[in-house]
Amino acid sequence: MNLVIQSLAPISDSHLRPLAALARSRETQRVDDTLLRLVDCDPLQRPDIDAYCGAHALDYAYVEPRAKLADFGLVAMDMDSTLITIECIDEIADFCGLKAEVAAITEASMRGEIKDFNESLTRRVALLKGLDAGALERVYEERLKLSPGAERMLEGARAAGLKTLLVSGGFTFFTERLKARLGLDYARANTLEIVDGKLTGKVVGEIVNADVKARTLVETCAKIGIDPARAIAMGDGSNDLKMMAEAGLSVAFRAKPVVRQSASVALNSVGLDGLLRLF
């Protein structure tokens, strides 16, 4: 296996020797100031590499030497705190003075401390009852920002022939706008019920939980005629784990510890376009 090391800042030459020794690699290739490739590494050394890279704000990934992005056919992304920097429901709650309360539930859910996502979402959405639906537009226009490297990652994925799927435990109000804005192929999320211009505190239809996310990835792969082993899944929270387990490559993006531990790759420092630089 090759070991790819990335950083936001230039990687000092002082890291070359210890990384090569820890990885048991005999050849280090400096691709550019912020990217190293160590050839023929021992994956059993991952715990040592993880500790070293964690201490020095370096991201690492073990990659098959001949692997190419074009080997894959789909990149599936979570939305909140993955494709975008915010948790939309927390920002919506800010407009009714309940951001801290809702954010605490969101955090516990994403860390896996609340096991029932349906219950977690239902509790949070109920707190939004009576809020003017115009708050959704304000969140989109004033607070929603793409994660670093998002557009570059999507451009690179499309250039390599991959389809794109946005699958979220958040809301269609945001996923549909992002789908149109970014030219995504598919999107799935929850629908907030709105009556007379106000949120009712309920969602309409099936809740997009961990099982539904995983099922959506598998169904999308079938739709485009590929095996799920040719899918890449990117996420940050515990409700992404089942989707990530279905994919051939799973990427934890600035993720909760439980997700980082389970993923094929963790991008803790670099942007989403760090995916492109693995290959």
The answer to whether the CB of 68 falls within 8 A of the CB of 159 is: no
Those residues with Cβ within 8 angstroms of residue 192's Cβ, 6 or more apart along the chain or in another chain = 125, 128, 136, 171, 172, 173, 199, 202, 203, 204
Q: Which of 42, 59, 78, 132 is the catalytic position?
A: 78
Alpha-carbon distance of 256 to 80, in angstroms, equals 13
What burial class does residue 87 get, using C-beta atoms within 10 Å of its C-beta: 0-12 exposed, 13-18 middle, 19+ buried?
A: buried
Q: Which of 33, 40, 59, 80 is the catalytic position?
A: 80
Active site residue 80: yes
Q: Which residue, among 192, 162, 163, has the nearest Cα to 176 in the 3D structure?
A: 192
Active site residue 116: no
Alpha-carbon distance of 138 to 256, in angstroms, equals 28
Q: Where in the sequence numbering do the catalytic residues fall?
A: 78, 80
